Amino acid sequence: NAGVTQTPKFQVLKTGQSMTLQCAQDMNHNSMYWYRQDPGMGLRLIYYSASEGTTDKGEVPNGYNVSRLNKREFSLRLESAAPSQTSVYFCASSGNLVGAGADTQYFGPGTRLTVL
């Protein structure tokens, strides 16, 4: 049981290049999320998918696209990278806590992206 996995762990891009960040979870969770984390800004939601086949914008969606490929996988694509997208990106999934009646999130290890 690996939980939430992300690839790659590190990436350096030049301005204008594109790339896709991959995320997979093996906990049979319905909901998946992409966040970015910047110093002093906390975690900000980019996109989320409440269930397979649906995606919705979060707080900071501009410059990103997502695909919920199946229940396990949720990818984040940067079509034309900009220096402002330099950040640490986290994928997360959520499912009910047994007996608690509340959803909580489980995070991947992150992708550290630098755009030059």
Partner 1 sequence: TQLLEQSPQFLSIQEGENLTVYCNSSSVFSSLQWYRQEPGEGPVLLVTVVTGGEVKKLKRLTFQFGDARKDSSLHITAAQPGDTGLYLCAGGGPDTGNQFYFGTGTSLTVIP
Cβ nearer to partner 1, comparing 17 with 52? 52
Q: Are 34 and 16 in contact (CB under 8 A)?
A: no
Strands 42-49 and 56-57: antiparallel
Among 14, 42, 62, 98, binds partner 1 (CB under 8 A): 42
Both tokens assigned to 113? 């992206």
Residue (of 49, 48, 31, 41) closest to 87 by Cα position: 41
Report the site for partner 1 in 58-87 (rule: CB under 8 A): 58-59
Report the site for partner 1 in 19-38 (rule: CB under 8 A): 31, 33, 35
Give the footprint of partner 1 on this chain (CB under 8 A): 4, 31, 33, 35, 40-45, 48, 50, 56, 58-59, 90, 92, 94, 97, 100-110
